[in-house]
Amino acid sequence: MTGETDLTPRRLRRARIAIAAVFCAHGAVTGSFATRIPWIQEHAQLSSGTLGVALAFPAIGAALAMPLAGRINHRFGARNALRGLLAMWTLSLVLPSLAPNLPTLCLLLFVYGASAGMSDVAMNALGVETENRLGRSIMSSLHGMWSVGALIGSAAGTVAAHAGAGARLHHLVAALALTAVGLVAVRGVLDLRGGQDDEAPPHFALPPKSALFIGAIGFCAVFAEGASLDWSGVYFRDVLHTDAGLAAASTTAFALTMALARLVGDKVVDRFGPVRTVRAGGVLATAGGLLVVLVRHPAGALAGFGLIGLGIAVVVPLAFAAAARSGAAPAQAIAGVATITYTSGLIAPSAIGAVADATSLVVSFGLVTLLALALVAGAGVLRATPGAGAGAADSASADQDEPASIQP
């Protein structure tokens, strides 16, 4: 990967701040959309069942479009590709609220998800490259900034909804503001391009083999995330028979511990390396799952969901970083892992519901606990491939699974 040559410490710090702002803007789109789903459902005249069908289309669009991102990145360069794809994503926020019916909503959500997925790959590829140049872990905090953006977007959406503003006006204003923020932020990211001798990736690339095992680790984490976000409140209501406020608190506990862990996770990764960090996270998430399943009390379940969020928080950022250093083209490898994790997010809520219908919701979270335990067993795939050119702390120490000692 070629590009800028004046990568002074000051320039790298600027690039880190810029890519963090990009992650924050990306998350804000998701938060803005999520808060107005009831408005979109009402105006498209959808039942809960048909809304569920429509909400599968963002993940479908993302999974199908992500493999295209590597080609776009190679053709236009990392900065230009991110500029275009991020603007496409922020502007796509206006689309869902325009849908008058189910078919139109499904189509618009497909486009919305495709732009989300391609911009996701582009920003993660640049995040990993920035991490390499800095020589220390930053991917966890970047994903933490995404969570911060999602919280900001959802808070603004909540205010707009309480003020009686329609989603069309709200999303138009938010889309324009976030597009402006994103375009300004992209100006500061690294300007990287493939070398003249680099072979262009295919127009549509399947995930490389190196990404499959890494993606499996991401799959387990995202499955636990989707199950906890979508079903923790139901678990409190139907299994523990609590009131709505405590049920909502369970989701909040999970989301907050996950966001906070991501913001501070880089220091842990730099100290212990990615393999030890994910193994320890798997132990915490497994302990949390056991609390949820075995301790039939709100306090135990609340602590359990908090531990699940804490345990899985850094897994996906580390999976993206490991994919980029696996020896395959970084954007292509990240696209492969992202496709697998998005697929997990797509099937997790319905899989939990299917298992609960066949057995019970307790058994469903027993499955989540087993997947958390798989993180302990499978963390070794996050070791860097020798000679892959990794430059961050985890790649320096992962093969020995020792604490990192690289300085920026």
* For range 128-143, the mean pLDDT: 91
CA nearest neighbour of 325 among 72, 62, 131: 131
For the chain, give the mean pLDDT: 85
* Highest mean pLDDT out of 86-90, 253-257, 319-323, 390-394: 86-90
Do residues 22 and 142 lie in contact, with contact meaning Cβ atoms separated by under 8 Å? no
Higher pLDDT pick, 196 / 103: 103
- pLDDT computed for residue 406 by the predictor: 27
Q: Could you please report the per-residue DSSP string of 57-71?
A: HHHHHHHHHGGGHHH
> Is it the case that residue 108 has pLDDT exceeding 90?
yes
What is the per-residue pLDDT for 206?
A: 57
Q: What is the pLDDT of residue 77?
A: 87
Indicate the SS3 state at residue 55.
coil
Banded pLDDT at 70 (limits 50, 70, 90): confident
Radius of gyration of the chain (CA): 20
> Residue 133 contacts by C-beta under 8 Å, 6 or more apart in sequence?
7, 12, 15, 190, 391
3-state helix, strand, coil in the chain (%, to 5): 80, 0, 20
Residues 6+ apart with CB under 8 A from 5: none
What are the b/e assignments for 119-150, b being 16+ CB within 10 Å? bbbbbbbbbbbbbbbbbbbbbbbbbbbbbbbb
Q: CA–CA separation, 4 vs 266, rounded Å?
A: 25
**Total Cβ atoms within 10 A of residue 97:** 21
Query: How many CA atoms lie within 13 Å of 259's alpha carbon, on the beta-carbon side?
Result: 17
pLDDT of residue 5: 59
Q: Are 153 and 174 in contact (CB under 8 A)?
A: yes
Q: Work out the average pLDDT over 338-360.
A: 83
Please indicate whether residue 246 or residue 288 has the higher confidence score (pLDDT): 288
The predicted-structure confidence for 163-178, as pLDDT tens digits, reads as follows: 889 999 999 999 999 9
Q: Specify the 3-state DSSP secondary structure of 3.
A: strand
What pLDDT does 230 receive? 76
Give pLDDT, residue 405: 29
Which residue has better confidence, 123 or 161? 123
Question: Three-state SS string across 183-195, please?
Answer: HHHHCCCCCEECC
Nearest Cα residue to 291 out of 304, 307, 282, 281: 304
Give the per-residue pLDDT at 35.
82
Cα(66)–Cα(25) distance, integer angstroms: 19
Give CA separation, 153 vs 27, 31, 219, 346, 385, in Å. 7, 4, 26, 22, 38
| Residues 355-407: tens digit of each pLDDT | 888 889 899 999 999 999 999 999 999 986 554 444 444 443 433 443 332 22
| pLDDT tens per residue, range 5-20 | 567 888 999 999 999 9
Residues 35 and 160: their CA atoms lie apart, in Å, by 9
More confident residue, 249 or 181: 181
Range in 24-33, 45-54, 277-286 the model is least confident about = 45-54
- pLDDT recorded at residue 303: 93
pLDDT for 180 equals 97
pLDDT over 50 (residue 107): yes
Q: What's the first-to-final CA gap in the chain, in angstroms?
A: 19
The predicted structure's pLDDT at residue 202: 54
The answer to whether the CB of 132 falls within 8 A of the CB of 394 is no
The residue-averaged pLDDT of 181-188 equals 96
Q: Are 25 and 176 in contact (CB under 8 A)?
A: no
The C-alpha atoms of residue 350 and residue 218 are separated, in whole angstroms, by 18
**CB-CB contact of 402 with 274 (8 Å):** no
Alpha-carbon gap, residue 220 to 225, rounded angstroms? 9
Higher pLDDT among residues 56 and 174, named by residue: 174
Going by pLDDT thresholds of 50, 70 and 90, the confidence category of residue 198 is: low
Q: Residue 201 pLDDT more than 60?
A: no
Decide: 27 and 85 in contact? Cβ < 8 Å: no
What distance in Å separates the CA atoms of residue 231 and residue 300, rounded to the nearest whole number? 16
pLDDT higher for 376 or 354?
Answer: 376
Q: Packing angle between helix 298-312 and helix 244-294, nearest 10 degrees? A: 80
Q: Is 158's pLDDT higher than 90? A: no
Q: What average pLDDT does range 294-317 have in this prediction?
A: 93
Q: CB neighbours of 377 closer than 8 A, spacing ≥ 6?
A: 282
Q: What are the residues whose beta carbons fall under 8 Å from the beta carbon of 25, sequence distance 6 or more? A: 86, 90, 149, 178, 181, 182, 185
pLDDT of residue 393: 42
pLDDT at 365: 93
Give the chain's largest Cα–Cα span.
63
Check whether 346 has a pLDDT greater than 70. yes
- 191-210: average pLDDT: 60
What is the residue type of 317?
A: P
pLDDT at 343: 82
Cα dihedral value 158, 163, 164, 170, nearest 10? -60
Q: What proportion of the chain, given as a percentage, has pLDDT over 90?
A: 49
